[in-house]
Amino acid sequence: MFTKILIANRGEIACRIIKTARQMGIATVAVFSDADRGALHVRMADEAIHIGPSPAAESYLCMDKIIDACRRTGAEAVHPGYGFLSENSLFREALEQANLTFIGPPAAAIRAMGDKITSKRLAAEAGVNVIPGFDGILESSDQAVREAERIGYPVMLKATAGGGGKGMRIARDERECREGFLRASNEARSSFGDDRILIEKFIDNPRHIEIQVMADSHGNIVYLGERECSLQRRHQKIIEEAPSPFLDRETRRRMGEQAVRLARAVDYTSAGTVEFIVDAERNFYFLEMNTRLQVEHPVTEMVTGLDLVELMIRVAAGEELGLHQEEIAARGWAMECRVYAEDPLTDFLPSTGRLVRYQPPEPEHGRIRVDTGVFEGGEISIHYDPMIAKLICRGPDRDQAIFTMQEALDEYVIRGVRHNIDFLAAIMAHPRFRKGELNTSFIGEEFPHGFRHCDVVRESPALPLIVAAIMHRLYMDRAARISGQLPGHERRVLDNWVVVSDGRYHEITVRPFQADQGYRVDFEGQHFGIKTDWSFCQDILRGVINNQRFAMQVERTGLGYRLSHRGVTTKALVLTPRAAELHRLMPRRQEADRSRLLRSPMPGLLVKISVREGDRVQCGQELAVIEAMKMENVLRAPVSATVSAVACKPGDCLSVDQVILEFE
């Protein structure tokens, strides 16, 4: 067994590998760029080596720097995690030449499965079901259009290398095909250093289901069940679960056996994932094989009880798996939510900045797990993927797993950057999701105009208003106890209040019960009994309302309150009846007219400006392209107008709200 390994990665996956290595008694070496100098994985590792500037191309993608870090520290093996160099066969070969062990599959398997065209050919030869498409590399957008017309729209354009939703576009007509080819090749070049694009038939309303395989160097290969990964946005998975609510036992067996057959055909070792597209009749087709540890591997670990990272390390050290197919079974149900630094209310644009407050839910062995690479006070950088953490929850069945996830999301506190927790909670509460009626178009179908809080299923719309009133009552009770008040003029605390939210005025009565530290609340003709031990410094208010347990994120904002529960964020102002009367008379501030300006919605690199001063643009026309967090984001004209001024040029680094164009 190794005595020291280097993790050629960053963020949550580096931290996750360090934890397993520590349990195995293996020392760890972290590598870091300028942006990650104070990162969590650097703090957790036994040693840390600086490998260059912030851009990944100058640090985490530099093989020579990582091999040099191994020499300097005496590391015997390298775990690549996912992304970066994890599926780079040249990196594997370079490590072998330096007498270092790569904790992953052989170079030949990486090469064969890393190229989507080669892998598709090999899959067909191995007897694995494949999707119709063009058996070659696209040389131009014109060729892409010709092949799309031959295959029939819709088609999928995707990079032959890499994964994670980068370099992928769906095209339903010629315009989308030409633009998709350009965007996909640009993203592939910047993310993987390989701009080759292939094209294949896109299957409408498919499910994305993958099989986890594990193989050793002694000829033993097993499959560890499936993961349902159909909930995606822009081809990026956001919620995964194991097992799939769609598969039956026979389909699961056939998919697993085909996955093992493919792995055996390329002499595979270590952890790998064979991804399939599955239609409504449970017909399944090979999509690709990821020759690395998947982001969503924890759901498999939660239901099988296996540590995939430990198995990868042991296999790399030459040990046998010691697993037999008939012994492997899923116990319970697990779900994973990817928590991203992005704003669902503004088309999921990435968010950067400092984590002013970061308080994940408390882990519980076998029930709640948080894999994260950040900490309170740390910074979300523009240079890397915007994922903050993975929240994994397990239950005896799917309903219980969902319930546990809802509770955990309610208790996940993030402040300082925008995040998608409300959106994740909204999906958990969605009736269609609860029924397991999923496909890769779920988010586009259920949130066609983007995410808005009004789309959320409100389980208890009165609860946040009641909690705001109770919080206000607690603040007023504390103020009434201040010493030194003028005799005869002491502060008196009322029982009757008015809660103002979304322009509506709600009368509410809050009376404390001294005996059991509870409150009786009368709200719009309904009566509630509430108990809570919340104190003023806490971000989570936990309590019981009418014998039902709940947890809610709370924050005092000036004179008001912000409350988040089950995917809904509520802003409330609690006033005395007289103050509420006066509040109704207050003039409302008019929003500034921003329609004459195109502003940058995020910090990022201005890749392209598609118009010039004096151009007449139509609604929906491309105006500019911004690259942020390894993705290209196209800014389009919200209305038809004439460009009066161009304030920036390609190559400029933009800040949030920086003006790019002005319109007449």
Q: What is the pLDDT of residues 253-294, one digit of tens each?
A: 999 999 999 999 999 999 999 999 998 889 999 999 999 999
How high is the mean pLDDT of the chain? Answer: 93
Instruction: Identify the domain boundary among 539, 554, 584.
Output: 584
How far, in whole angstroms, is CA 284 from its chain's centroid? Answer: 26
- 160 has pLDDT over 90: no
Burial class (CB in 10 A: 0-12, 13-18, 19+), 591: exposed
Shared domain for 372 and 438, answered yes or no, is yes
Shared domain for 245 and 384, answered yes or no, is no
Q: What is the pLDDT of residue 523?
A: 94
Bridge pairing between strands 631-636 and 622-628: antiparallel
| Phi, psi (rounded to 5 degrees) for 521 | -120, 130
List the CATH number of the domain containing 646: 2.40.50.100
The closest alpha carbon to 45, from 9, 76, 71, 72, belongs to 9
The closest alpha carbon to 502, from 459, 563, 543, belongs to 563
Shared domain for 438 and 536, answered yes or no, is no
CA atoms of 298 and 318, how far apart (whole Å): 24
Instruction: For residue 590, tell me if it sits in a domain.
Output: no
Between 626 and 234, the higher pLDDT residue: 626
**DSSP conformation class of 75:** -
Shared domain for 371 and 228, answered yes or no, is no
Shared domain for 151 and 229, answered yes or no, is no
**Contacts with 73 (C-beta within 8 Å, 6 or more apart), sequence order:** 4, 6, 29, 47, 49
Least confident of 15-29, 175-189, 596-610, 623-637: 623-637
Least confident of 23-37, 390-404, 458-472: 458-472
- Which residues form the domain of 84? 4-103
Percent of the chain with pLDDT over 90: 78
105 close to 214: Cβ distance less than 8 angstroms: no
**Contacts with 144 (C-beta within 8 Å, 6 or more apart), sequence order:** 138, 157, 171, 177, 178, 180, 181, 197, 199
Q: What is the pLDDT of residue 163?
A: 65
- pLDDT confidence tier of residue 604, bands split at 50, 70 and 90: confident
How far, in whole angstroms, is CA 540 from its chain's centroid? Answer: 23
Instruction: Identify the domain boundary among 331, 349, 377.
Output: 331
CB-side neighbour CA atoms (13 Å) of 225 = 28
Shared domain for 110 and 219, answered yes or no, is yes
List the CATH number of the domain containing 147: 3.30.1490.20
Instruction: Identify the domain boundary among 535, 552, 584.
Output: 584
Long-range contacts of 643-650 (CB under 8 A, 24+ apart): 643/611, 643/612, 643/613, 643/614, 643/615, 643/616, 643/617, 644/613, 644/614, 645/613, 646/609, 646/611, 646/612, 646/613, 648/606, 648/609, 649/606, 649/609, 650/606, 650/607, 650/608, 650/609
Mean pLDDT computed over 399-428: 96
Least confident of 100-104, 200-204, 301-305, 417-421: 200-204
CB-side neighbour CA atoms (13 Å) of 550 = 23
Q: Give pLDDT tens digits for 177-207.
A: 999 999 999 988 877 788 899 998 888 789 9
CA atoms of 600 and 1, how far apart (whole Å): 51
Instruction: For residue 163, tell me if it sits in a domain.
Output: yes
Instruction: For residue 10, tell me if it sits in a domain.
Output: yes
95, two tokens: 């490590």
Instruction: For residue 592, tell me if it sits in a domain.
Output: no
Q: What is the pLDDT of residue 457?
A: 66
532 close to 539: Cβ distance less than 8 angstroms: no
Shared domain for 506 and 570, answered yes or no, is yes
- 164 has pLDDT over 70: no
Integer Rg of the chain from CA: 27
Mean pLDDT computed over 83-91: 96
Strand ranges in 67-220 using DSSP code E only, listed in sequence order: 77-79, 101-102, 155-159, 168-171, 197-201, 207-215
Shared domain for 570 and 545, answered yes or no, is yes
Strand ranges in 483-614 using DSSP code E only, listed in sequence order: 496-501, 504-513, 518-523, 526-532, 540-545, 548-557, 560-565, 568-575, 597-599, 604-609
**Number of independent structural domains in the chain:** 6
Instruction: For residue 531, tell me if it sits in a domain.
Output: yes
- The SS3 of residue 52 is strand
Q: Give pLDDT tens digits for 23-61.
A: 999 999 999 999 999 999 999 999 999 999 999 999 999
**DSSP conformation class of 35:** G
Mean pLDDT computed over 632-657: 90
CA atoms of 423 and 419, how far apart (whole Å): 9
List the CATH number of the domain containing 218: 3.30.470.20
Shared domain for 193 and 216, answered yes or no, is no
- 540 has pLDDT over 70: yes
Helices and strands (DSSP H and E) totals, the chain: 17, 38
Hey, which residues does 390 pair with through a beta bridge?
338, 371
Q: What is the pLDDT of residue 313?
A: 98
Mean pLDDT computed over 643-653: 93
List the CATH number of the domain containing 48: 3.40.50.20
CA atoms of 309 and 301, how far apart (whole Å): 10
CA atoms of 35 and 657, how far apart (whole Å): 23
Q: What is the pLDDT of residue 68?
A: 98
Shared domain for 234 and 312, answered yes or no, is yes
- pLDDT confidence tier of residue 498, bands split at 50, 70 and 90: very high
List the CATH number of the domain containing 504: 3.30.700.30
Q: Which residues are catalytic?
A: 288
Which residue type occupies 4? K
**Contacts with 259 (C-beta within 8 Å, 6 or more apart), sequence order:** 211, 213, 223, 274
Mean pLDDT computed over 139-166: 87
Mean pLDDT computed over 460-471: 93
CB-side neighbour CA atoms (13 Å) of 524 = 10
Return the HEC string of 210-229: EEEEEECCCCCEEEEEEEEE
- The SS3 of residue 652 is coil
CA atoms of 496 and 508, how far apart (whole Å): 6
Shared domain for 348 and 452, answered yes or no, is yes
CA atoms of 310 and 322, how far apart (whole Å): 13
Instruction: For residue 546, tell me if it sits in a domain.
Output: yes
**DSSP conformation class of 525:** T
CA dihedral 184, 189, 194, 200 (to 10 degrees): 0
Q: What is the pLDDT of residue 100?
A: 98
Percent of the chain with pLDDT over 70: 97
Bridge pairing between strands 496-501 and 568-575: antiparallel
Return the HEC string of 467-517: HHHHHHHHHHHHHHCCCCCCCCCCCCCCCEEEEEECCEEEEEEEEEECCCC
Instruction: For residue 591, tell me if it sits in a domain.
Output: no
349 close to 602: Cβ distance less than 8 angstroms: yes
The H or E element that residue 152 is part of is: none
Shared domain for 257 and 114, answered yes or no, is yes
Evaluated on CA atoms 193, 195, 201, 203, the torsion sign reads positive
Instruction: For residue 589, tell me if it sits in a domain.
Output: no
- The SS3 of residue 372 is strand
With both helix axes pointing from N to C terminus, report the angle between 141-151 and 174-192 in degrees, rounded to the nearest 10. 120
